[in-house]
Amino acid sequence: MALLVLGAAAALADFYRWGYEYGHNLDPNAAIQVPGMSYQPPVIGYKQLLNFGAWSYPDWGGWIFVAAGVVIVATYAFEAFFREKRLKRPEGRAVAVTLAGLLLLSACTTGPEPLRYGQDNCHHCKMGLSDTKFGAEIVTKKGKVYKFDDVNCMQLFVNAGEVKPEDIAQQLVVDFAKTQQLIPVETAYFLYGGDVRSPMNSKVAAFANPADRDKANAMLKAEAMDWNQIKERFTKTTAHHH
């Protein structure tokens, strides 16, 4: 805890020194000069500088640093003031065991994450996710999440051995009719070919129910398939290329 506080103080002092040098070590031959005024950004907070304002506040790294400090202080307080007293009582031991069990369960919980279009990249082709009607995701049994911009990228990723099939907890695809909504591949209804235009040309669209699939297929003129047929198609394609 002491090292964290000292590190934060040193970082802020260095930032202040940098800002001071930046604002006071000025070129005497500068085209614009304001007598008696220095340009020094604030370390934290807001400062008016002529006709514009300067804000300074922590970004993600700074907030992570603050969160780490809060956790350390809370842990220290728990160890110093509560743990010894409460664990001496039977009910205290029961609470500790219950909390440990809940933490273990939460650590083992796996679940999908929302696809962030315009931010996330495909784990296979490295392209950015852009079309909200398409996308796929793998969640492993250990909770690791892999995101893809198209169904073929997900299956080619598995075929390449990037993740073992026995380690996969869930494979999901985006519902074409309800953009950005993930559904399990095993229960999805697929269309292949026709006028389906997916990001990496898999020509695959997925649907949560057959009514939505049939309605879309009136325009797409594609072939109805299930997940096993889709998976087999891209597994064969990979084998052919190798």
pLDDT of 1-50, one tens digit each? Answer: 888 889 888 988 998 898 888 778 878 887 777 777 777 778 888 777 76
- How far, in Å, CA of 184 to CA of 171, rounded? 6
Give 70: exposed, middle or buried? Use CB within 10 Å, 0-12, 13-18, 19+: exposed
How many residues are listed for the chain in this entry?
A: 242
Cβ distance 216 to 140 under 8 Å?
A: no
The verdict on residue 131 lying in a domain is no
**pLDDT mean across residues, the chain:** 83
**225 & 162 share domain:** yes
Residue with token string 């909390």: 99
Query: 97 or 71: which carries more pLDDT confidence?
Result: 71
Q: How many CB atoms lie within 10 A of CB 85?
A: 9
The verdict on residue 48 lying in a domain is yes
- As a whole number, mean pLDDT of residues 80-108 equals 59
Whole-number pLDDT of residue 84: 62
The verdict on residue 166 lying in a domain is yes
**36 & 67 share domain:** no
Cα-trace Rg, the chain: 28
**42 & 72 share domain:** no
Whole-number pLDDT of residue 236: 61
- How far, in Å, CA of 182 to CA of 188, rounded? 10
Estimate to the nearest angstrom the gap between the alpha carbon of 80 and the chain centroid: 35
**DSSP helix/strand/coil, 204:** strand
Whole-number pLDDT of residue 19: 83
pTM across the whole model: 0.54
What spatial distance separates the first Cα and last Cα of the chain, rounded to whole Å? 55
The verdict on residue 95 lying in a domain is yes
**165 & 226 share domain:** yes
User: pLDDT class for 239, splitting at 50, 70, 90?
Assistant: very low
The residue range of the domain holding 194 is 136-241
Lowest-pLDDT choice from 13-27, 87-101, 120-134 = 87-101
